[in-house]
Structure 1
Amino acid sequence: MRRFSGLAVVVLIVIGACSSERNTFTNRTFHNLTSHFNAFYLSDTKIKDVEAQVVANYKEDYTQVLPVFIPIDSATIKDNKAKLDSARELSSKAIDWHRISKWVDDSYYLIGKIDYLQGQQDDALNAFKYVNSRSKDKDLRHRALISLLRLYVDKLEYENANFTIDYLSKESEISDENRFALFKTLAYYYETRADQNGVIGALDRAVAYVPDKKEESRIHFILAQRYQKEGLDALAYDYYRKSLDGNPPYERSFFATLYAQQVAELNASKDLKKVRNYYDDLYKDPKNKDLKDVVIYERALFEEKQDDIPLTLQLLHQAVREPGTNPRLKGYIYQKLAEINLDEFKDFRATKYYLDSALTFIKEEDPVALEIQEQKATLDQYVFHVERIQLNDSLTVIASLSTDEQIALAENFIAAEEERLLAEARAKEQPKNPNIFNNLLAFSGKDPGASFYFDNGVAMQQGAIEFNRVWGNRPLQDDWRRRAAIFQTSTQQIPSSKPDSLAPAENQILAGLPTLESLLEKIPNTPEQIAQLNSELEESYFELGKLLYFDLKEIEPSIENLETLIQNYPNTVRKPEAYYLLYLGQKDSGGNFEQYAGRLNREFPESQYTYSVNNPDAASGNLAALESSKGYEAAYNAYYAGDFQRSRQLVKSTLEEYPLTRNTEKLLLLDIMVTGKLESRDRFKSRLESYIDNTKDPALVSLARNMLRPMLSKEELAALAPKEIIEVDSTQLQADSTAVNAGRQVPEDSPYKLNESQTHIFVIALSRSETDEAKNLLGDLENFHAANYPNARLRTGNMNMSPENAIYIISPFANAEKANEYYRKFSEEFASEGLPENVKSNAFFISIENFQTLNKSKNLEEYRTFFRTLYQ
């Protein structure tokens, strides 16, 4: 019984100690031990395992300056999700089950680290802030603050980062472990801000507290790279030598030795033979078999410094073919090839394709890849137009030949391709050793390059081609089988024990050859196809000329392409802008630019480019755009007030003073609208057609088309915008408002919808001051309706749209057509004392659905733009 009682007491003590509610010494001791070794330790171990995997999976790129922190790879984190989830669960248990232990705050910190690794930045931020504000452990608070600093730098929140740095700088008793983390994080801070001296200074401080030799070796290597980048070769040499300590990975020691040799001797050496021998020795060293591409690449960079460009290119091409462990290096090699072809030869086509190759080895999210993409955007357009010109020019010439000449040309092409493929196959053959023993073994099958026919791949391929050329693709069978087959019916063919065609290996060289029929099919032979080719050529000559002038700064080729455009396509709609570009190009190169100014004035007196050449000192930039906006607004108001002459004068004076701004195309369209009021219908139509062909703004083009449609015949309407009218029956193609509406499109970014069958209302919008002056508006509207619409039962009311605007509403109208009839009569006949003319001209009608949208946004001008585009 005494033994049983003692056991019961022990059990009761243990059970009592398990309680997290009682804060006694026994309870605290129990929970401290359990939370530390059963939860915190296991969670911390799992997190460190994942961090070690991130480091192990990262491939260091020693050809570039190493990053201060190894980037966290999302794929590695995803692969270790179960381990991190387990670590989170353990940390959560340490918090929930052992609330009185001293490891609760540490567990919160681990949860913050897990959130950080998994990219949950906001959660990590909250966890680190909580630990900093709650924990009484100074070391833990410092760790949380340093982690918080790194997170702020990740998010580029430099103001918060600066505050954290300032706070930590005033803290005392920071442990060596935390000092190392702090200085390394400071180096990361300066790295993101491209502060070279800051990075070097922070890493120099970090080295004094580095926890292990491997990390010390890496930091020394980074310092060496940065000193070398700054041109401090002596310091770079010292740090490269220091980075060899601590048993670094072989690849790092290789680069450290190579770069140390460069800064010490190779770059300064006048003995070129000695330098080249050094690279040759590195290349031959068996230990460097996986780094041969690096050796050749570094040798190429050395030869580039000696201005030996042909040898540099040769070495770079060799480096691409050499084995290596770093795929990104291949990308850098192609990038260097692109750079040389651009700088030395102005070969934009080769540059584009080398950059394409570089991107196949560099990840999309890499900053280098983003830089290449930006550089390549213009080159992609250049190559597209150059290759389209080459192709379409060739096809146009071939299309002009007779059928016999086309066939002969296609046959010659196929023959030339056969020869090319044969030459490539021969080049791949191993060189033969004319040794007597090889001759003795000719029939043994031991020598793949022997003269025996069936041991020589090229001979077999050539024989297959010759057989195919002479006999066609016939079954491979004995002569007696062929003769016997003549006497057999098609249903009694003798099965052959041999294959019906050449073996795949024998026919491989022929697989890529086009047939005569497939080549002839590609030759354009209809007027429509020829017209398409010429349309593409016209576009490409123009775009290429523009690209060469503005983006590539190549004036002479730009002039050449634009003059070809004018010569080959004298009726091109792009002629005004082409003349203007030729004017600029000739002016820059000291040529006869006056001739193009004269042509613009003679042929296109109303073009914006004519205004520009006539006013070479006209203002440009944001200020000009602002002033031209004011001119456009004044001209627009004059137009809608019915003062068309004044509107035209304002448009002309604005274009003369500010000829090329973002408002130019709007001003030109307004001038055309004035033409519709003051000049003939044919003149109005002609100007609209020219505007549609030359304008780039799709919204303005759509507006111009809406103006043009009522003046077009059924056939012209169908041809105007075939992409807009896909299926139109005969009832839709009438020269009335229904036909006009058929091709209208609502702008993509508009919140409004076109629903003409819906009930509409008519709206007059006034400012507060205008409302006060138009005191008789409601009464005048009632009288207007009684006189003109006695049976329509129209209702009139008003409401406040916004603090600035009141609106008068006339309703209902069964559909848009009825509302439009009222709008026309209102515009022509309605008058009210005190009502400004511009308010009357700015009135509009709107569907019930769209009015609900307008009432929410309160943006009257946005709807007016929709109204003018779709209804007027």
Structure 2
Amino acid sequence: MKRFSGLAVVLFIFIGACSSERNTFTNRAFHNLTAHFNAYYLADVKIKDVENQVFKNYKEDFTQVLPVFIPIDSATIQQNKEKLDSARELSSKAIDWHRISKWVDDSYYLLGKIDYLQAQQDDALNAFKYVNSNSKDKALRHQALISLLRLYIDRLEYENANFTIDYLSKETEISDENRFELFKTLAYYYESRADQNGVIGALDRAVAFAPDKKEESRINFILAQRYQREGLDALAYDYYRKALDGNPPYERSFFATLYAQQVAELNASKDLRKVRNYYDGLYKDPKNKDLKDVVIYERALFEEKQGDIPLTIDLLHQAAKEPGSNPRLKGYIYQKLAEINLQEFKDFRATKYYLDSALTYIRETDPVAIAIREQKTKLDQYVFHVERIQLNDSLTIIAGLSPEEQEAIAQNFIQAEAERLIAEARAQEVPKNSNIFNNLLAFSGKDPGASFYFDNGVAIQQGALEFGRVWGNRPLQDNWRRRSAIFQTTTQPEQNVGSGDSLASVENPILAGLPTLEGLLSNTPNTPEQLSKLNSELEESYFELGKLLYFDFKEIEPSIDNLETLIRTYPNTIRKPEAYYLLYLAQRDSNGNFEQYVGRLNREFPESQYTFSVNNPDAASGNLAALESSKGYEQAYNAYYSGQYQQARQVVKTTLGEYPLTRNTEKLLLLDIMVTGKLESRERFKGRLESYIENTKDEALVKLARNMLKPLLSSEELAALTPVDSVATDSTQLASNKEAENQGKKVPAESPYKLNESQTHIFVITLSRSESEAAKNLLGDLENFHANNFPNARLRTGNMNLNPENAIYIISPFSNAEKAKEYYLKFSEDFKSEGFPESSQTNSFFISIENFQTLNKTKNTEEYLDFFRTIYQ
């Protein structure tokens, strides 16, 4: 009974201590113990585990200055959602169930950390502010303020960040742990503001409070990188050596050793053979098998400093082919190749394609990728027009040949393509192993060099190609079958020996993508409409290329060449006045004969705005000129409608003389023509309207001018105008119809997507993880589908993860929505692939580049499908 009574007393005390309503010593002790070692401890462990996962999953890019903080990867956070949800639940229980414990504020801080990791910034902000305002624990308040400071920097709220920094600078008794986080966060602040000295100063203070050797090693490496870029090689060397302490990861050790050697000796050494031997040694070291691309890349940068550009390019190409552990480095290699081709050779085309390759390796959110995309905008336009000129020029020449000559060119092209594909396949073969054991195995099909003919796929394909070229597509039969075939009454159809079709018909995976003879000949323009379209595109491209080269690339001579080709080849082009004006500017800049274009403009286009400009070279321009010309137009307009035609003409002439090229110029010119209709002859009025319609780009003004012109035309002229000028006269109507059609397409309410049919589009196939695994041959079947149905479209296929549940396959590029829709319809009708579900075929869609960026952020395909079905189906 005594024992039972004692147990009952203990149980009664325990039950009483569980209450969070009574604030006694026993209750507080119980709740402090359980809140700390149950809820808070477990939640903290889970959060730290997720933070460690973020750190482990992040691939450090040692070729660039390391960031102060490891970026938080949303994919890793999403993968650990259950763990963070569990930590949130435990922290909430510590607050709700143990309200009188001293771990409540700490649990609120953990909730803020969880919100921060899950990018719920407003909730994190409130949690950190609450802890700072309510906690009596000074260290915890400092911790919350430092986290608040980092959040302000993330949000670029520098005024709030400055206030927080000022407040913390006046605080005392800051623990060493918090001092480390504070100085590190200060370094992050200066990093976001591109203040190099500030970052170095803050990290120099932080390293003294580093909690362990690994963290200290990483900070020392960042300091070394920054000192090296500031040209302080001696300091950089010291910090690279310090970065080797603390047993850092091998890759960081490798880069610290490499860069230390560079700043200490390689950059200053005059013994080039010694430096090159050093790089050769690194390359051959088996420990560096995953870093060979780095070694070659660094060697290329060294050779560039020596001025050996050809060797630099060769090394960069080699580096791009070497295996490596950091995909982003390939992007930097291609970016360097683009830079060299631009600066050394002015090869804009190669620059564009190298930058395209760079973007496939660099994340789209990376500042480097953003800068590349901006640089590429004009390069894309340049390459588009250059390649269109090359293609259309070739097609125009081929169109002038006889059918026999066209067929011969097509066959030669197919043959050359086949030989190129065979040569590429041979180049990729593993070199023959001379090992005597492997030679003995050659006849068993196990030789990696495939020395036996029937083990060598390329040899077989080359033989099949040669057989097809000489004998055609013969059936496989032995001698006795050929002899018996003599007595058969039926005969085989004669083969077209050496034709492109026979080459393509050889069953051969390497040659599967070869175009057919019929396909090539069908693309040859033969009708007047096709030739007219080619010449229209050529005319546009010569003009646009001339403008790009002059204004954007500052390449005057090539600009002059393209514009003069335009005028020489298309003397009646409507772009002639502007081309004359651009040639005037280019010749003036190059001290050429610019006066000839002043004369031509005055003779051929006396009423053009460009003529006014060359006659008044010192006229004002810019926003102020546009504003003043608007006032002049308003004054002339009022004078015209009040019947003061001479005054209206005088105001127009004065305004055009002072401000010849503004957004009001074409309106002023049309108003001057309207004055002509009141003061001069009918023929003069008609002639000026016709000239205005040919040379004006504003469709609304052209339509207005056409309406003025129609009453001046005779019935015969109207009848003659309709068939000849139907495309030109109805262009405004077509444009307005297209605009009306687009306006009829209503974007779903609150949709984040925009309608832009002229923008580049891509085609997207969405699959779940299981569907993606089942459709094993999808990429290969897509390539075959493109080769058979879109052989000249240069479509590219790739795949990526949209989110943890779905993978997407992307086909690109399509120049506009119309082209993408053609592909969509053909794909929906004809595409088949083993394991590819029909539901995914139905849910495939095309999307503009701008809208795809939005989709990539929201990850909500159903939301875009609503938009797609409303607009495009």
Pair 1:743–1:455, CA change in 2 (3 A): closer
The aligned counterpart of 1:579 is 580
- Counterpart code for 1:272: L
Pair 1:645–1:41, CA change in 2 (3 A): farther
Consecutive unaligned residues in structure 1, runs of 5 or more? 491-500, 728-740, 752-872
The aligned counterpart of 1:81 is 81
The whole-number CA distance in structure 2 between the counterparts of 1:287 and 1:100 is: 57
The whole-number CA distance in structure 2 between the counterparts of 1:141 and 1:443 is: 77
The aligned counterpart of 2:312 is 312
Q: Bigger shift: 284-293 or 140-149? A: 140-149
The aligned counterpart of 2:557 is 556
The aligned counterpart of 1:363 is 363
Deviations 1:803-824 (A, max 9, x none): xxxxxxxxxxxxxxxxxxxxxx
The aligned counterpart of 1:47 is 47
User: Shift of residue 670 of structure 1?
Assistant: 3.6
Once superposed, what is the RMSD of the aligned Cα atoms?
Answer: 3.2
User: Shift of residue 468 of structure 1?
Assistant: 1.6
Pair 1:357–1:701, CA change in 2 (3 A): farther
User: Shift of residue 689 of structure 1?
Assistant: 5.5
Pair 1:443–1:158, CA change in 2 (3 A): closer
- Counterpart code for 2:345: F
The whole-number CA distance in structure 1 between the counterparts of 2:252 and 2:246 is: 11
Q: Bigger shift: 447-456 or 642-651? A: 447-456
The aligned counterpart of 1:398 is 398
Pair 1:429–1:72, CA change in 2 (3 A): closer
Asked whether the 8 Å contact 2:432–2:451 carries over to 1, the reply is no
User: Shift of residue 576 of structure 1?
Assistant: 0.6
Asked whether the 8 Å contact 1:448–1:455 carries over to 2, the reply is no
Deviations 1:509-566 (A, max 9, x none): 4323322222211110000000000000000000000000000000000000000000
Q: What SS class does the counterpart of residue 508 from structure 2 fall into?
A: helix
2:639 corresponds to 1:647: no
User: Shift of residue 155 of structure 1?
Assistant: 1.0
Alignment of 1:124-135 (within 5 A): 124-135=124-135
Asked whether the 8 Å contact 1:349–1:379 carries over to 2, the reply is yes
Q: What SS class does the counterpart of residue 132 from structure 1 fall into?
A: helix
The aligned counterpart of 1:544 is 545
Alignment of 1:838-849 (within 5 A): none
2:370 corresponds to 1:344: no
The whole-number CA distance in structure 1 between the counterparts of 2:596 and 2:574 is: 19
The aligned counterpart of 2:764 is none
Pair 1:742–1:13, CA change in 2 (3 A): closer
Asked whether the 8 Å contact 2:214–2:247 carries over to 1, the reply is yes
The aligned counterpart of 1:387 is 387
2:15 corresponds to 1:10: no
The whole-number CA distance in structure 2 between the counterparts of 1:104 and 1:115 is: 17
Asked whether the 8 Å contact 1:465–1:510 carries over to 2, the reply is no
Asked whether the 8 Å contact 1:460–1:506 carries over to 2, the reply is no
Deviations 1:691-739 (A, max 9, x none): 4554445665566567667878583796446577679xxxxxxxxxxxx
The aligned counterpart of 1:529 is 530
User: Shift of residue 489 of structure 1?
Assistant: 9.6
The whole-number CA distance in structure 1 between the counterparts of 2:139 and 2:452 is: 80
- Counterpart code for 1:305: K
The aligned counterpart of 1:120 is 120
The whole-number CA distance in structure 2 between the counterparts of 1:648 and 1:420 is: 67
Q: What SS class does the counterpart of residue 464 from structure 2 fall into?
A: helix
The whole-number CA distance in structure 1 between the counterparts of 2:435 and 2:59 is: 47
The whole-number CA distance in structure 2 between the counterparts of 1:680 and 1:401 is: 50
Pair 1:223–1:707, CA change in 2 (3 A): farther
User: Shift of residue 649 of structure 1?
Assistant: 2.4
User: Shift of residue 201 of structure 1?
Assistant: 0.2
The aligned counterpart of 2:277 is 277
Q: Bigger shift: 129-138 or 62-71? A: 129-138
Q: What SS class does the counterpart of residue 208 from structure 1 fall into?
A: helix
Q: Bigger shift: 83-92 or 659-668? A: 659-668
The whole-number CA distance in structure 2 between the counterparts of 1:617 and 1:52 is: 66
User: Shift of residue 167 of structure 1?
Assistant: 0.7
Pair 1:175–1:642, CA change in 2 (3 A): farther
Asked whether the 8 Å contact 2:398–2:406 carries over to 1, the reply is yes
- Counterpart code for 1:478: D
The whole-number CA distance in structure 1 between the counterparts of 2:553 and 2:333 is: 23
User: Shift of residue 352 of structure 1?
Assistant: 0.6
The aligned counterpart of 1:606 is 607
Deviations 1:373-395 (A, max 9, x none): 01111111111000100000010
The aligned counterpart of 2:293 is 293
Q: Bigger shift: 121-130 or 58-67? A: 121-130
Q: Bigger shift: 710-719 or 224-233? A: 710-719
- Counterpart code for 1:251: E
The whole-number CA distance in structure 1 between the counterparts of 2:739 and 2:235 is: 71
The aligned counterpart of 1:235 is 235
- Counterpart code for 1:563: E
User: Shift of residue 120 of structure 1?
Assistant: 1.2
The whole-number CA distance in structure 2 between the counterparts of 1:140 and 1:689 is: 80
Deviations 1:304-356 (A, max 9, x none): 00000111011000001111000000000000000101111111111111000
The aligned counterpart of 2:621 is 620
Structure exhibiting the larger radius of gyration computed from Cα positions: 1
2:574 corresponds to 1:570: no
Pair 1:503–1:488, CA change in 2 (3 A): farther
Pair 1:23–1:349, CA change in 2 (3 A): same
The aligned counterpart of 1:94 is 94
User: Shift of residue 134 of structure 1?
Assistant: 1.3
The whole-number CA distance in structure 2 between the counterparts of 1:700 and 1:144 is: 63
User: Shift of residue 634 of structure 1?
Assistant: 2.2
The aligned counterpart of 1:658 is 659
User: Shift of residue 31 of structure 1?
Assistant: 1.8
Alignment of 1:156-171 (within 5 A): 156-171=156-171
The aligned counterpart of 2:419 is 419
Asked whether the 8 Å contact 1:573–1:690 carries over to 2, the reply is no
- Counterpart code for 1:619: A
Deviations 1:71-120 (A, max 9, x none): 01111111111111111111112222222221111111111111111111
The aligned counterpart of 2:192 is 192
Alignment of 1:713-732 (within 5 A): 715=722, 719-720=727-728
Q: Bigger shift: 307-316 or 512-521? A: 512-521
The whole-number CA distance in structure 2 between the counterparts of 1:649 and 1:661 is: 18
Q: Bigger shift: 630-639 or 327-336? A: 630-639
Consecutive unaligned residues in structure 2, runs of 5 or more? 491-501, 747-873
The aligned counterpart of 1:219 is 219
Alignment of 1:816-835 (within 5 A): none
Asked whether the 8 Å contact 2:465–2:503 carries over to 1, the reply is no
TM-score (norm 2): 0.78
The whole-number CA distance in structure 1 between the counterparts of 2:564 and 2:678 is: 37
Q: How many residues align?
A: 730
Asked whether the 8 Å contact 2:66–2:222 carries over to 1, the reply is yes
Alignment of 1:725-740 (within 5 A): none
The whole-number CA distance in structure 2 between the counterparts of 1:443 and 1:104 is: 77
Pair 1:204–1:273, CA change in 2 (3 A): same
The whole-number CA distance in structure 2 between the counterparts of 1:395 and 1:718 is: 26
Asked whether the 8 Å contact 1:448–1:456 carries over to 2, the reply is no
Asked whether the 8 Å contact 2:432–2:449 carries over to 1, the reply is yes
- Counterpart code for 1:588: D
Q: What SS class does the counterpart of residue 519 from structure 1 fall into?
A: helix
Q: What SS class does the counterpart of residue 257 from structure 1 fall into?
A: helix
The whole-number CA distance in structure 1 between the counterparts of 2:734 and 2:559 is: 38
The whole-number CA distance in structure 2 between the counterparts of 1:503 and 1:412 is: 13
User: Shift of residue 445 of structure 1?
Assistant: 4.9
The whole-number CA distance in structure 2 between the counterparts of 1:26 and 1:441 is: 83
TM-score (norm 1): 0.78
- Counterpart code for 2:526: N
The whole-number CA distance in structure 2 between the counterparts of 1:678 and 1:748 is: 41
The whole-number CA distance in structure 1 between the counterparts of 2:737 and 2:349 is: 44
Asked whether the 8 Å contact 2:296–2:316 carries over to 1, the reply is yes
The whole-number CA distance in structure 2 between the counterparts of 1:525 and 1:750 is: 37
Pair 1:463–1:638, CA change in 2 (3 A): same
